């Protein structure tokens, strides 16, 4: 096959940031995706309906072709009474970050049970709970697995609440999400499908591959690939594209986050093709996520062509995944 046309994809986990970077990120996103779920870990974070509306108008002022699916950040101070207002401001999901697990999560949640009244309100309002499923204070390779009992507990207390375990990175998480029934789904990134721990650190850290959760073992990666290719409707694409400036990636404490928007679809297409599963790509990128979020399919399409191109070493001061490498598939714009 030399050309492929699919329903326009959605990115169900994207960091569009603020300031100078934001318009560039929006432009790159709208070249590929119809809709994108916008993460709320800005500074200050998106916590109230007002914050959300303000952030959405900033985004809309630069990205007329993209539909922004808005989220709010659940912090210790979030109150159940706020959920109705957030929903009418346009929120479709709230994002839970356990405290200290990733970029700008200093205000994350320490005790999940304190938030049960908030989850109750979200369940009633049919607002999705997106979870960064890592437990802090544990060695990074173990963090996701250590969080899984918490996921089980939330689900068993709120069996009608739709939950997305974001950027799954372990076989254990894949297994659990499959077991938990139709209300619990997961996003899968392109980098967790392609990289394992050795690509992140092998003697020394490669900041370009450093993200949270850290990429795990080959066996974990294989489990992710298998589930993504399998046509399982509870596993769908969310890039977790999380750009940081070169300066923030260099030095002693590089920030976690991989910028993947411009390479995501070419890489996914190559991966599905190499397993002879190109026929499953559209479900993973353009159908299953929309179904879980109870959204109609996108009207438009996206075409990719088999034509080699070289990934730039940098986009607006941000190093992308696969910088300087040649990819086989190219997005037609």
Longest dimension (CA), the chain: 53
Q: Give how many residues touch ligand NCD by CB under 6 A.
A: 11
Residue 290: strand, helix, or coil: helix
144 binds, among Zn ion, ligand NCD, none (CB under 5 to 8 A by kind): none
Q: Which option in Zn ion, ligand NCD, none does residue 285 bind, with CB closer than 5 to 8 A by kind?
A: none
15 sits near ligand NCD (criterion: CB under 6 A): yes
| Structural contact between residues 251 and 207, judged by C-beta atoms closer than 8 angstroms | no
Q: Considering CB distances under 5 to 8 angstroms, the limit depending on partner class, which of Zn ion, ligand NCD, none binds residue 133?
A: none
Catalytically active residues are 240
Q: Any idea which residue has 């941000």 for tokens? A: 318
Whether 323 and 314 have beta carbons less than 8 Å apart is answered as yes
Footprint (CB under 6 A) of ligand NCD, residues 137-196 = none
Shortest approach of ligand NCD to residue 207 CB, angstroms? 11
Contacting Zn ion within 240-269 (CB under 5 A): 240
How far apart are alpha carbons 114 and 109 in whole angstroms? Answer: 9
The footprint of Zn ion on residues 202-241 (CB under 5 A) is: 240
Which residue in the set 28, 58, 171, 240 belongs to the binding site for ligand NCD (CB under 6 A)? 240
Return d(Cα 112, Cα 40) in angstroms, integer: 18
Dihedral angle of Cα 227, 214, 289, 127, to the nearest 10 degrees: 130
How far, in Å, CA of 214 to CA of 221, rounded?
11
Q: How far is the CB of 264 from ligand NCD (least distance, A)?
A: 14
Peptide bond into 328 cis (omega under 30): no
Among 212, 227, 302, 318, binds ligand NCD (CB under 6 A): 212
User: Is residue 264 within 8 Å of 63, Cβ to Cβ?
Assistant: no
Binding at 102: pick from ligand NCD, Zn ion, none (beta carbon under 5-8 Å per type)? ligand NCD
Peptide bond into 173 cis (omega under 30): no
**Residue 275 CB, nearest distance to Zn ion (Å)?**
26
Shortest Å distance, C-beta 132 to ligand NCD: 5
Residue in 26, 87, 56, 61 with CA at minimum distance from that of residue 261 = 26
Which residues in the 270-309 window bind ligand NCD by CB under 6 A? Answer: none
Mask for 244-263, x = binds ligand NCD (CB under 6 A): ------------xx------
Is residue 212 within 8 A of residue 260, CB to CB? The reply is: no
CB of 299 to Zn ion, least distance (A): 27
- Helix boundaries (H) for 104-217: 116-125, 143-157, 171-179, 190-194, 197-200
Q: 3-class DSSP state for residue 292? A: helix
Query: C-beta of 136: minimal distance to ligand NCD in Å?
Result: 12
Q: Which of 41, 71, 123, 260 binds ligand NCD (CB under 6 A)?
A: 41
Chain positions 114 to 173 lying near Zn ion, rule: CB under 5 A, are none
Residues that bind Zn ion (CB under 5 A): 240
Residues that bind ligand NCD (CB under 6 A): 15, 41, 102-103, 132, 211-212, 240, 242, 256-257
């Amino acid at each position: 096959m030399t050309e492929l046309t699919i329903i326009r994809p959605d990115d169900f986990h994207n960091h569009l940031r603020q300031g100078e970077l934001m318009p560039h990120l929006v432009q790159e996103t709208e070249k590929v995706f119809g809709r994108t779920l916008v993460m709320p870990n800005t500074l200050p974070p998106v916590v109230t309906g007002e914050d959300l509306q303000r952030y959405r108008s900033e985004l809309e002022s630069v990205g007329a072709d993209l539909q922004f699916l808005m989220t709010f950040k659940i912090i210790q101070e979030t109150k159940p009474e706020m959920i109705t207002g957030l929903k009418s401001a346009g929120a479709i999901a709230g994002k839970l970050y356990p405290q200290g697990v990733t970029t700008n999560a200093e205000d994350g949640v320490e005790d999940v049970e304190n938030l049960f009244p908030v989850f109750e309100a979200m369940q009633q309002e049919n607002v999705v709970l997106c979870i960064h499923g890592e437990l802090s204070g544990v060695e990074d390779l173990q963090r996701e697995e250590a969080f899984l009992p918490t996921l089980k507990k939330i689900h068993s207390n709120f069996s009608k609440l739709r939950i997305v375990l974001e950027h799954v990175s372990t076989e254990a998480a894949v297994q659990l999400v499959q077991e938990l029934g139709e209300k619990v789904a997961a996003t899968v990134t392109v980098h967790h499908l392609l990289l394992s721990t050795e690509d992140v650190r092998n003697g020394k850290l490669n900041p370009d591959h450093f993200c949270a959760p850290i990429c795990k073992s080959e066996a974990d990666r294989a489990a992710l690939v298998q589930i993504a290719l399998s046509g399982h409707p509870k596993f769908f694409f969310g890039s977790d594209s999380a750009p940081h400036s070169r300066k923030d990636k260099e030095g002693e404490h590089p920030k976690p986050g991989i910028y993947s928007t411009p390479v995501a679809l070419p890489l996914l297409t190559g991966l599905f093709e190499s397993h002879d599963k190109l026929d499953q790509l559209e479900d993973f990128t353009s159908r299953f996520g929309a179904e879980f979020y109870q959204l109609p399919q996108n009207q438009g399409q996206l075409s990719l062509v088999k034509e080699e191109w070289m990934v730039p070493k940098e986009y607006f001061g941000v190093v992308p995944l696969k910088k300087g490498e040649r990819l086989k598939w190219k997005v037609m714009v």
